Amino acid sequence: MKSDAGVPNNRTVIRVGSSAANYTIEIGAGTLARLGTVARHALPNSTAKIVIISNQCVYDLYGAQACASLRAKGFKVATWLMPDGERYKNLHTWQRALEFFGQEKLERSDAIVALGGGVVLDLA
């Protein structure tokens, strides 16, 4: 069964709320194709650029689809790939990410998307 927007209805949406932040997690078929739509809805109109943080393995599987979805909604997309593994969750890796953000001239109104979990999500 499909919704009017052509997105499968077999998604699970989890709403997380705390004193620090409120956000939603969307899980299910078709979710990655909706990334651009969700980002455009959730972010301020001034957001022009999104940096995707990922690792090579995950990016090879899902990167092209994530980038295409974001670009279709008018975002400029840059990608920073980090090494895979818990040992890379450290200040040196974070420093390299910050240097990349500077090279890309990331601004306060821009955004970062984690494409992956674990260390990638923690760093993003």
- The pTM score is 0.83
Q: Is residue 14 situated within a structural domain?
A: no
Give dist(CA 41, CA 30) in Å, integer.
17
In a domain, 40, yes or no: yes
Type of residue numbered 122 = D
Q: What is the CATH number of the domain that holds 55?
A: 3.40.50.1970
User: pLDDT digits over 20-36, tens only?
Assistant: 777 777 788 888 999 99
For residue 57, being part of any structural domain is answered with: yes
**Residue 46 domain flag:** yes
In a domain, 22, yes or no: no
- Specify the higher pLDDT residue, 90 or 26: 90
Strand partners, 26: 13
Domain count along the chain: 1
Which residue range is the domain that position 105 belongs to?
A: 32-123
